[in-house]
């Protein structure tokens, strides 16, 4: 299907730049007339993905670039997060399991991939000749 618009966003791998990507995604959602909660969800998934690249693929080392492609289709919005760092080991995708009554079981991390899978309609991860691409799509009812 043909896109009805697209934009590429690039930041250097520093946590201080992540809110800029996040703000941009929320602003784009608002320009597309999405409601506040949907805009927050899109920002959240992108921020989780970009933070993961910064922290895990580039182990918080500055000087690398994180690229986000946003593709608009008539029925959905697609985000591609690209990096050339360490690849994601699919075994890392975990369920979120804890007992709300037992404080010691509560997770303090490991919720990012869960959130992306829960909020997006489609998530997949591919590595080809050193380029890692996480693709996430959300269908839009407009």
Positive or negative, the Cα torsion across 113, 119, 125, 131?
A: negative
Touching its own copies, residues 100-139 (CB under 8 A): none
Stretch that binds its own copies, among 3-11, 91-99, 116-124, 131-139 (CB under 8 A): 3-11
Interatomic CA distance for residues 38 and 35, integer angstroms:
5
Q: How far is the CB of 44 from another protein (least distance, A)?
A: 6
Q: How far is the CB of 33 from its own copies (least distance, A)?
A: 10
Interatomic CA distance for residues 40 and 2, integer angstroms:
26
Annotate each residue in 60-99 with x if it binds its own copies (CB under 8 A) or - if it does not, as one string: ----------x-x---------------------------
Give the long-range contacts of residues 92-100, CB within 8 A, separation 24 or more.
Answer: 93/117
Q: Which does 123 bind (CB under 5 to 8 A by kind): its own copies, another protein, ligand ADP, none?
A: none
Q: Are 15 and 54 in contact (CB under 8 A)?
A: yes
């Amino acid at each position: 299907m043909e896109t009805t618009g697209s934009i590429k966003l690039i930041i250097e791998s520093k946590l201080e730049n992540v809110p800029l990507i996040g703000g941009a995604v929320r602003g784009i959602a608002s320009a597309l007339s999405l409601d506040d909660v949907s805009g927050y969800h899109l920002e959240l998934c992108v921020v989780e993905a970009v933070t993961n690249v910064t922290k895990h693929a580039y182990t918080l080392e500055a000087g690398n670039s994180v690229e986000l492609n946003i593709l608009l289709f008539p029925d959905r919005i697609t985000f591609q997060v690209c990096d050339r760092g360490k690849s994601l080991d699919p075994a890392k995708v975990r369920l979120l399991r804890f007992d709300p009554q037992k404080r010691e079981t509560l997770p303090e991390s490991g919720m990012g991939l869960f959130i992306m899978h829960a909020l997006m309609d489609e998530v997949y991860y591919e590595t080809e000749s050193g380029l890692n691409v996480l693709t996430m799509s959300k269908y839009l009812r407009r």
